[in-house]
């Protein structure tokens, strides 16, 4: 199985300041069709996961442009340009290039 590793585990952030989460995979996520199926999800407290980013850098409909994804191969990053109160929750990276689908352990973003 592809192991997904996230850092940091916990990320206290001041409102209005930037935040960055890293995600690494144990093998390349480039699929045979040329796409890299690396996704980012946010799970707010008491809610189900919501997809924010797909294929490394594509924002889902309704996701604010303060969220951006980047990376390639095995190294990926999610950035929030200016953290808002509604961004609190646990962020998960997830790979969909190899079966079984696997998730990072999560990064808990909280406001200082």
Partner 1 sequence: EVQLVESGGGLVQPGGSLLLSCVGSGFTFSNFAMHWFRQAPGKGLEYVSTFSSYGGSTFYANSVRGRFTISRDDSKSTLYLQMGSLRTEDTAVYYCARDPCGNYCSPDYWGQGTLVTVSS
Residue 64-103 contact track with partner 1, rule CB under 8 A, x = bound: ----------------------------x-x-xx-xxxxx
Grouping H, G, I as helix, E, B as strand and the rest as coil, residue 87 is helix
Residue 45 interacts with partner 1 (CB under 8 A): yes or no: no
Interface residue with partner 1, options 37, 57, 63, 68 (CB under 8 A) = 37
Whether residue 91 contacts residue 67, with contact meaning beta carbons closer than 8 Å, is answered with: no
Residue 60 interacts with partner 1 (CB under 8 A): yes or no: yes
Residue 59 interacts with partner 1 (CB under 8 A): yes or no: no
Place of tokens 């889902």: 60
Residue 107 interacts with partner 1 (CB under 8 A): yes or no: no
Q: Which is nearer to partner 1, 25 or 39 (CB)?
A: 39
Whether residue 88 contacts residue 111, with contact meaning beta carbons closer than 8 Å, is answered with: yes
CA distance 69 to 21: 10
Grouping H, G, I as helix, E, B as strand and the rest as coil, residue 85 is helix
Interface residue with partner 1, options 50, 57, 81, 88 (CB under 8 A) = 50
């Amino acid at each position: 199985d592809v192991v997904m590793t996230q850092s940091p585990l916990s990320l206290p952030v001041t409102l209005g300041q930037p935040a960055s989460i890293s995600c690494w995979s144990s093998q390349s996520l480039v699929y045979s069709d040329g796409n890299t199926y690396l996704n980012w999800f946010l799970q707010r407290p008491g809610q189900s996961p919501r997809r924010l980013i797909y294929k490394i850098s594509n924002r889902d409909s309704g996701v604010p442009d303060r969220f951006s994804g980047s990376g390639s191969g095995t190294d990926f990053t999610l950035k929030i340009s200016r953290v808002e109160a509604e961004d609190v929750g646990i962020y998960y990276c997830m790979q969909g290039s190899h079966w079984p689908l696997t998730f990072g352990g999560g990064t808990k973003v909280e406001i200082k």
